[in-house]
Amino acid sequence: MSKKLIFFEAADPTLDPGPLIAAYHFASVAAKANLKAEVRLAAQAVRAADLDASDPDADVHLLLKKGPAQGVFLSVCPRAMEQFGVTPEQARAIGARPRSLTDILTEVAEGSSVLIPITHRMA
Q: What is the pLDDT along the chain (123 residues), one digit of tens a residue?
A: 789 999 999 998 888 888 998 998 999 999 999 999 999 999 988 888 876 544 555 566 666 667 667 889 999 999 999 999 999 998 888 889 999 999 999 999 999 999 999 988 776
State residue 17's pLDDT score: 85
- 17: left (phi > 0), else alpha (psi -120 to 50), else beta? alpha
CATH superfamily of 4-118: DsrEFH-like (3.40.1260.10)
How many angstroms separate the CA atoms of 36 and 48, rounded?
22
State residue 54's pLDDT score: 47
Instruction: List the beta bridge partners of residue 102.
Output: none
State residue 62's pLDDT score: 66
